[in-house]
Structures are given as structure tokens and as C-alpha cells.
Amino acid sequence: MFQSKLFSRTSREAAKEEKSANAVFLERAGFIDKLSSGIYSFLPLGFMVLKKIEGIIRQEMQGIGGQELLLPALHPKLFWQETKRWDSMDDLYKLKEGEKEFALGPTHEEIIVPLAKKFIKAENDLPLYLYQIQTKFRKEKRAKSGILRVKEFIMKDLYSFHSSQEDLDRYYEKVKRSYFKIFQKVGIKKQFLYLTYASGGSFSKYSHEFQALTPAGEDTIYICKKCGIAVNKEIKSKTPSCPNCGSKNFEVKKAVEIGNIFKLKTKFSEPFGLTFTNKQGEKKFVLMGCYGIGLGRLLGAVVELNNDSKGIIWPDSIAPFNAHILPLQSSNKAAAKSIENYSKKLYSDLTKAGISVLYDDRKNKAAGEKFVDADLIGIPWRLVVSEKTLEKQMVELKERSSGRIKLLKKREALNFLKKKYVK
Amino acid sequence: MFQSKLFSRTSREAAKEEKSANAVFLERAGFIDKLSSGIYSFLPLGFMVLKKIEGIIRQEMQGIGGQELLLPALHPKLFWQETKRWDSMDDLYKLKEGEKEFALGPTHEEIIVPLAKKFIKAENDLPLYLYQIQTKFRKEKRAKSGILRVKEFIMKDLYSFHSSQEDLDRYYEKVKRSYFKIFQKVGIKKQFLYLTYASGGSFSKYSHEFQALTPAGEDTIYICKKCGIAVNKEIKSKTPSCPNCGSKNFEVKKAVEIGNIFKLKTKFSEPFGLTFTNKQGEKKFVLMGCYGIGLGRLLGAVVELNNDSKGIIWPDSIAPFNAHILPLQSSNKAAAKSIENYSKKLYSDLTKAGISVLYDDRKNKAAGEKFVDADLIGIPWRLVVSEKTLEKQMVELKERSSGRIKLLKKREALNFLKKKYVK
């Protein structure tokens, strides 16, 4: 992709009200655009990253038997009255259409349970795992921290349906492992990722959150120094000791919740009468679990955990491009032509090999400005072509994360990147 | 995929109020589920088809230089006040959040124009082509005909930005050709597809609709018998002759609009002050075009145009699976075991080769029922394994569209399907 054609523009300044790294860098580097408090657009660069995160999540969901569907955002009032959440949920957007009233779905239990009821009859129909990647809405009074807390967001929500508590427990552990994989795949390093005990509501003792340590996070978690499991504020206020190992020695940290898993048991099966006939011919309530990941928030959290003073440092797995070619200007016309030719050949060799490349073809930008922008955007590998590198018929390869620089022949650079990115 | 595990169930009866083929078959075959008037869920089978349509559209959009982004559904009131459409658009869903008011986007000119304004400065920044595939909302009082006319729908909306009328005209023709490709790729045959003159509003003489002939359509079009171009009702009432060739000889047909393209010119650039500085240093308004395709409606239209009395006949390009294996029951235990073994081997050979297969492993279904369901679901190739076919160590291959049947060896069936579906 030619950078001059990319619908994106880096800027030196961040919007005044923004303080968190994800908001500042993602906006300055042209990944997102703020429309209003808690409402963002994903620009092409941001959309590319979002799609990669979506791909990683989708693959994992299919790996644990999930079937993808797509449920509506407009929810007729009566479904939310069944569970009494029409009145009890403060953050529900409501709208009218003549006599009819709708909620904008902030979650989908009210829709998926009556739907599942049409299909689940016998024990044979269970277990069942359904998920979607879909836009949700929540009246968010505390919208802030860039895309960490917003009013409209894309969420992966998985719902599982079981015939027994044991089966639910087993699958819950499976999703837990799958979530660890997803978060590490997208670039949340293990040492920043904490499985955290949270309230289980009226039906379960505990639920679990996946918390990523960052000062930008709005949650406070208490990490057990003995076993490494964390508890959230609500649990800590109720129990002085670790629910996992009993230790009372905690470390307090700021974190952002990037996922949560919850044993709903029969909380929603009961109001909607979601039952199955077991092998003994008895009607039983279906047991459920639900499992969520907010894609935009996860993207923001990755940026919070992968940046330096200069900008974003994208993990390989979700970077918008693998490599960034920077041909530098030269006042010498012949040299300028050589730089352009060499760079274009490099670009075409790399893209033909299946490496995705952003090519900084902007004519009016000085070297310094190109460097600053490249660091801000944060593509893993920067390839500089200049008069100096061309003296040796070489290209300068720099790794964004380590800052390490190497001079390589075009073919060597190609082979190095091919090895990394082409399967 | 094992059919017994698929979240979907065929039914013999359609919901009473449904009359159009898309609604009846898509619901009966388990592709969609109606939540409320004009509000549908896409079940796994329907979601697979939707994703294939999305893939075809995305590829075409990228081919004509489109950059994908994702704009929000929640639109602050002030953007819609700028264009005076807050009050003039009847079908706008509005909602409140304290003092703030929002519209749920039925289209995105009000959002993308102010966004483009942040990036477009000079003539060099043009042309620019931005698109998204995103959920839109419209208060639809006449919601009917299954998924042809709904309140919540996924739309591909492309917006183009130009420095001159000539450039807009050129790109408009390019999109026109691209739309013909998309519609034919997803299975709308050429003879049912009509480019149709429609009103251009206050800024252009004409816009164009892409109309697909079907009795389920709610539009009436007038096809010029001389040149084959059509005009819609509004245009026909104003001009008695074909705007393309001048002929007055028309044929009247029912059709459904599956796409529309529109030269907006400066309709939205003016209220939002979207300008660029041309090479002479003058400020000029950016010229715009917009181009829409409703994905769900297109899916519905494909079904309207590709069915028979038994069910859907999916075009290869968007079928949820390439092949459908039906192992039949046998009361002879040894034969039953052979049928199962042969079918499972066939399934694993096909899937390993990269052919997507639905395997009807349902134990309690008679042959007749399996046949009826397979015809209803409409996968292009049906493979029956029975006592009879196994006498010859063969499998029966049936093409859904032609009804043609052949007996083949397993290897022959594999090679035949591989040739068709594996690139």
C-alpha cells in the first residue's frame, strides 16, 4: 500500500482531553477517529488490526466447537421484560417506534436463549456452543481512556449450553485455556495477564475476568503473591484471603478487563423455560455459560502494553503491515532516481512474496519526519533506502521493538521477512 | 460439519405470515430466524452464505481501490442537523442519553464527510474511495418479504471523493461495471439483472438502481424493449421515453432493488464545507459519489431467483457447503456399518482435499426425509451412500440445479469436486 494513498494521516499532537497511550497513539497515528465521547471510527489502519484480532478470535472459537451466527442489535422490549432487565439495567439504550419499544443490545442472553429454545429439545442436542462477533451498545457515562471504555463496541460473545454441571465446568475450563491463548496470540504478554476472580452474581460463587496490567486500566486487582491468581475489588472487599490458595498476601495493581467468563447456570434458562428432556425422560433446565471479549478494548489494551515514548510497537500477529519501506529524499537527481527504483523493486519483491508492506512514497517529507511517523505507526520492520545504503547496494532493516539495525542486501531482507511471515 | 451438530433444524412448515420464497425457504431450511417484524438473526448456515457474499463484495471493492473502514452506528444529532435530515428523514431511529440525542445511522454521509474533511486538503489527496460493511437501521413500516425489507441490515456503502466531474463520472462507470460483476458472481443471472434509471435528487438528473426481476420484489420497473435499460416508476411517470435510447416501448416487471449508485456531487460537501485546494490554489468543493449494496437483501434476492418447489438452489459461489453427504439407513447391521464406514471415509477424503461438506449423520431420519431436507437446504452436490450404491462400491452424485444423477467411484467423485472447488 502506498502511504500517500492511505486514508490516514499522522499528527504531532493528540486531542487535548486524551491521556492514555492507546487514545493518544491510535489517534495520532491515524488508526482511529473520535466522533463523540465514547464513539470511534476505525480508519483503514485500525480496521486492518481489528480484522486480524477478529481472525485470531474466530479461529480459536472454531477450535473449541463454536458455531458462528449473527444476532440483531434491535431487541424488542418483551425479551428484556422476561428477565426484568428492561428496568434494572441502567446502561440500556432504549428507543421507540410508534407503540413498539426496543433496546439496543448490550449483551445477547435475552435473544439467544429464546432462539436456542427453538432448537434444543433432547439431551442429544447438547452441548451446544454459539458465538457471534457483533456490535453492542451501552450507555457509558464514564466513557474515557480512548477505546477502552466506549458506548458502541464490537464484542465476541460465546454462549454454551449444557446438560450437566460437570459438562459446563469442563467447557468453562476449556474456554479459559482458549482465552489465554487468544490474549497471548494478539500480544498481551503472559506476565501482564491475570486470571481474576470476580463476582458470580446470584447463580455462581465466582466468575472470572482476564485482566491486563496497565496504569490506563480502571480496575484495581489484588494479585496473590503466593499463587499468582488475582481477585477484583468486589471479591477482595468480601474475603481477605485468596480463593485459590488461601494466602492473604496481595499486591495491588491497576488493570483493564479484556475478557470475562461466567457460569450463568440456569439464570436465563429459567425465565425463558429453556429445558431439555434427559435420557430418563425428565425435563431439566439447560445450564449455560457466557464468555465475552471486546475487540476494540483488546486492541487498545495491546497498545497500552506495547508502546514506547515514540509510538506503538505492534506485535507481529496483529500489525497492520509486516514491513514499512522508507525511501529517503536526495537532492541529487540521479541518486533520488536510484533510491526510488531500488525501493519500488524492493516493494514489489516483498509484496509478490506475500509480505504486506506500507510504502512511504510521500514526496514532501524529510527523513526525520518519515522516521518519526514510522515509529509512531509501529510496523514491526522498517526498511530504509537512502543514498548511504545504496552506496553499498543495501537496505537498512530496523526492528521496531528492539531498535536493532542491520544492513542487508535486498535478497537477504526478502528472505528474512519471508521466513517470518510467509507460511 | 456433522448435520446433527449444526445449530439449525429444517421444518416442514413456514411461518404463516411469510409468502416470499426467500422467507419461506430460508426459515424452513434454518438459515435465518425471525426475531420480530423486519428483524432477523442469521443462523450458522445463513451466516456462512452472508460471509461468502461479503468476501465477494470486499474483493471487488479492493479491486476498484476501495479502502475499508468502520464507522459507528450511533450518530450525534448535530451531524444530522447540518444536512437538515434530522427532521426530514422519517425512517430515522432516534434515541436519547440524558441531554444528548443520537440517530442510528441509516446511511453514513453525515459521518464520512466530516471525517474526510479532516484528511482531504489538496488535489493530491483525491480521488479517494472509502467503504465499509456495517449494520444500518431504518424504521421500516412496510417490513415484509422476509429479508428483502428489514429494519436492521448489513450494508456495503462506498463513498468516492473527486476533484472533478470527469473523474467522478469515470469512477461511477467503474463502480457500475464492478456491481454487475458482484451480482453475477453471487448468482444473479444476467437476464434477471437490470440497470435502472432512478431519480438523481436535487443534484443529479439520474441515479441508477440495480434491479433483479422477481415477483417478490416491491418495485415496478419499465424495461426498454429496444436497448434493455430500465427505468423505475418515478422516472417513467415523468418521461414517456427511454432516457438511454429514446424508445417508448416498455415491458413492465416486478423487481427488487439490490444495489444503487448515486452521484451526490456537492450535496454533502457544501453543508460540511468539504473542500480541497486545486493546483491553481483555489478552494473547490469536493465532488462525491455513493454506492450501496444491502448484503441480506442480496442474499434474499439470490434465493428468490434460485429455487424450485423443493427449496433453495445455491449458486456455487455462495453455497454454505460444496457438497452434502447422505448416508442412508439400512436395517441390515453389516450393511449399515459399511454405509457408515464408506461415508465417513468419503467425508474425510473430501474435507482433507479442501472441499466443504455437510454430513447428514442424523440417525433417526428416513431416506425420504434426508432427501427432502437436502433439496430444501440446496447445497450444489448431493452424495448418497446406500446399500444399493455400495453393491457397486459407488456413490450417487446428484446436482441440485439440474437434478442430474451419476454413479461414481469414491475417487472419481473426489476428483470431480476437487476440480470444481479446489484452486
Residue B398 has pLDDT above 90, yes or no: yes
Give the closest of A6, A46, A119 to B7, CB-based.
Answer: A119
Question: Nearest-CA distance from A405 to chain B in Å?
Answer: 32
Arithmetic mean of pLDDT, B186-197: 97
How confident is residue A108, by pLDDT bands cut at 50, 70 and 90?
very high
Instruction: Tell me the chain B residues in contact with residue A118 when contact means C-beta distances shorter than 8 Å.
Output: 9, 33
How confident is residue A13, by pLDDT bands cut at 50, 70 and 90?
confident
pLDDT digits (tens, 9 = 90+) for B204-222: 899 999 999 999 999 999 9
What is the three-class DSSP state of A103? Answer: strand
Amino acid at A363: K
Residue A145 has pLDDT above 80, yes or no: no
pLDDT digits (tens, 9 = 90+) for B364-379: 899 999 999 999 999 9
Q: Which pLDDT does position A141 carry in this prediction?
A: 85
Q: Which domain holds residue B344?
A: 321-421
Identify the closest residue of chain B to A108 by CA–CA distance: B41
ipTM of the complex: 0.97
Instruction: Tell me the chain A residues in contact with residue B8 when contact means C-beta distances shorter than 8 Å.
Output: 119
Q: How many domains does chain B have?
A: 2
Q: Which pLDDT does position A12 carry in this prediction?
A: 81
Residue B310 has pLDDT above 90, yes or no: yes
Radius of gyration of chain B (CA): 25
- Buried (b) or exposed (e) across A28-54, using 16+ Cβ within 10 A? bbbbbbbbbbbbbbbbbbbbbbbbbbe
C-alpha–C-alpha distance, residues B343 and A139, integer Å: 52
Strand partners, A324: A358, A382
| Cβ-defined contact of A8 to B118 (cutoff 8 Å) | no
Instruction: Tell me the chain A residues in contact with residue B131 when contact means C-beta distances shorter than 8 Å.
Output: none
Of the listed ranges A16-25, A110-119, B50-59, the least confidently predicted one is: A16-25
> For the residues of A207-252, what is the DSSP string, one character each?
EEEEEEE-TT-SEEEEEETTT--EEEHHHHHH-SS-TTT----EEE
| Cβ-defined contact of B70 to A93 (cutoff 8 Å) | no
Residue A300 has pLDDT above 80, yes or no: yes
In this structure, what is the dihedral angle of CA atoms A255, A257, A261, A264, given to the nearest 10 degrees?
Answer: 110
Q: How far is CA B98 from CA A21, A87, A93, A138, B137, in A?
A: 29, 16, 11, 13, 22
Question: Nearest-CA distance from B221 to chain A in Å?
Answer: 31
Q: Which pLDDT does position B203 carry in this prediction?
A: 84
Residue B92 has pLDDT above 90, yes or no: yes
Identify the closest residue of chain B to A139 by CA–CA distance: B97
pLDDT digits (tens, 9 = 90+) for B114-173: 999 999 999 999 999 999 999 999 998 888 778 999 999 999 999 999 999 999 999 999
- Best residue in B36, B272, B286 for a mutation probing chain A (most A CBs within 10 Å): B36
Question: Do B358 and B227 fall into the same domain?
Answer: no
pLDDT digits (tens, 9 = 90+) for A58-98: 999 999 999 999 999 999 999 999 999 999 999 999 999 99
Residues 104-163 of A with CB under 8 A from B: 104, 111, 115, 118-119, 124, 128, 130, 135, 137, 139, 151-152
Question: Do B405 and B300 fall into the same domain?
Answer: no
Residue B112: inside a domain: yes
Domain final residue pick, A274, A308, A342: A308
Question: Do A273 and A333 fall into the same domain?
Answer: no
CB A414 within 8 A of CB A353: yes
Q: Which pLDDT does position A423 carry in this prediction?
A: 83
Strand B323-327 and strand B357-359: the pairing is parallel
How confident is residue B235, by pLDDT bands cut at 50, 70 and 90?
very high
Q: Which residue has the cell 433453495?
A: B312
Residue B46: inside a domain: yes
Q: Which pLDDT does position A72 carry in this prediction?
A: 98
The alpha helices in A306-332, defined as continuous H runs, are none
Instruction: Tell me the chain B residues in contact with residue A72 when contact means C-beta distances shorter than 8 Å.
Output: 35, 39-41, 152
The answer to whether B89 faces chain A, any CB pair under 8 Å, is no
Domain final residue pick, A263, A287, A308: A308
Give the closest of A7, A40, A73 to B128, CB-based.
Answer: A7
Residue A122: inside a domain: yes
CB A115 within 8 A of CB A71: yes
Instruction: Tell me the chain A residues in contact with residue B72 when contact means C-beta distances shorter than 8 Å.
Output: 35, 39-41, 152
| Cβ-defined contact of A128 to B7 (cutoff 8 Å) | yes
Question: Do B278 and B194 fall into the same domain?
Answer: yes
CATH number at residue A210: 3.30.930.10
Arithmetic mean of pLDDT, B285-310: 97
Residue B13 has pLDDT above 90, yes or no: no
Question: Nearest-CA distance from A101 to chain B in Å?
Answer: 11
C-alpha–C-alpha distance, residues B397 and A78, integer Å: 47
Residue B11: inside a domain: no
C-alpha–C-alpha distance, residues A42 and A22, integer Å: 13
| Cβ-defined contact of B93 to A95 (cutoff 8 Å) | yes
- Best residue in A9, A34, A40, A41 for a mutation probing chain B (most B CBs within 10 Å): A41
Residues ≥6 apart with Cβ < 8 Å to A402: none
Question: Nearest-CA distance from B64 to chain A in Å?
Answer: 13
Identify the closest residue of chain A to B161 by CA–CA distance: A7
pLDDT digits (tens, 9 = 90+) for A26-49: 999 999 999 999 999 999 999 999
Residue A20: inside a domain: no
Q: Which pLDDT does position B74 carry in this prediction?
A: 98
Question: Do B359 and B252 fall into the same domain?
Answer: no
Give the closest of B44, B118, B139 to A69, CB-based.
Answer: B44
CATH number at residue A397: 3.40.50.800
Residue B314: inside a domain: no
C-alpha–C-alpha distance, residues B72 and A306, integer Å: 26
Q: What percent of chain A has pLDDT over 90?
A: 92
> For the residues of B182-235, what is the DSSP string, one character each?
HHHHHT--GGGEEEEEEE-TTT-SEEEEEEEE-TT-SEEEEEETTT--EEEHHH
Residues 9-48 of A with CB under 8 A from B: 9, 33, 35-36, 39-44, 46-47
Give the closest of B4, B130, B135 to A7, CB-based.
Answer: B130
Q: Which pLDDT does position A364 carry in this prediction?
A: 87
Instruction: Tell me the chain A residues in contact with residue B126 when contact means C-beta distances shorter than 8 Å.
Output: none
Arithmetic mean of pLDDT, B89-106: 96
Give the closest of A41, A111, A119 to B71, CB-based.
Answer: A41
The answer to whether B97 faces chain A, any CB pair under 8 Å, is yes
Question: Do B181 and B294 fall into the same domain?
Answer: yes
Q: Which pLDDT does position A142 carry in this prediction?
A: 81
Q: In the predicted model, what is the mean pLDDT of chain B?
A: 96
Q: Which pLDDT does position A374 carry in this prediction?
A: 98
Question: Do A329 and A280 fall into the same domain?
Answer: no
Domain final residue pick, A249, A281, A308: A308
Question: Nearest-CA distance from A91 to chain B in Å?
Answer: 10
Residue B18 has pLDDT above 90, yes or no: no
Give the closest of B33, B42, B111 to A35, CB-based.
Answer: B111
Q: Which pLDDT does position A203 carry in this prediction?
A: 84
Question: Do A218 and A84 fall into the same domain?
Answer: yes
Residue A17 has pLDDT above 90, yes or no: no
Instruction: Tell me the chain A residues in contact with residue B128 when contact means C-beta distances shorter than 8 Å.
Output: 7
Residues 201-260 of A with CB under 8 A from B: none
C-alpha–C-alpha distance, residues A12 and A17, integer Å: 15
Instruction: Tell me the chain B residues in contact with residue A39 when contact means C-beta distances shorter than 8 Å.
Output: 72, 74, 76
pLDDT digits (tens, 9 = 90+) for A153-204: 999 999 999 999 999 999 999 999 999 999 999 999 999 999 999 999 888 8
Q: Which pLDDT does position B19 carry in this prediction?
A: 79
The count of other CB atoms within 10 Å of the CB of residue B226 is 14
Strand partners, B299: none
Question: Do A270 and A157 fall into the same domain?
Answer: yes
Q: Which pLDDT does position B423 carry in this prediction?
A: 83
How confident is residue A306, by pLDDT bands cut at 50, 70 and 90?
very high
Q: Which pLDDT does position A55 carry in this prediction?
A: 98
Question: Do B261 and B340 fall into the same domain?
Answer: no
Residue A11: inside a domain: no
C-alpha cell at B132: 465499509
Q: Which pLDDT does position B143 carry in this prediction?
A: 82
- Best residue in B50, B97, B126 for a mutation probing chain A (most A CBs within 10 Å): B97
Residue A324 has pLDDT above 90, yes or no: yes
In this structure, what is the dihedral angle of CA atoms A89, A93, A94, A97, given to the nearest 10 degrees?
Answer: -160
Residue B340 has pLDDT above 90, yes or no: yes
C-alpha cell at A247: 494466602
Residue A147 has pLDDT above 80, yes or no: yes
Residue B232: inside a domain: yes
| Cβ-defined contact of B72 to A130 (cutoff 8 Å) | no
Question: Do B366 and B411 fall into the same domain?
Answer: yes
The model's pTM is 0.97
Question: Do A225 and A339 fall into the same domain?
Answer: no
C-alpha–C-alpha distance, residues A46 and A256, integer Å: 20
Residue B251 has pLDDT above 80, yes or no: yes
Residue B20 has pLDDT above 90, yes or no: no
Q: Which pLDDT does position B142 carry in this prediction?
A: 81
Q: In the predicted model, what is the mean pLDDT of chain A?
A: 96
The candidate with the shortest Cα–Cα distance to A361, out of A29, A4, A11, is A4
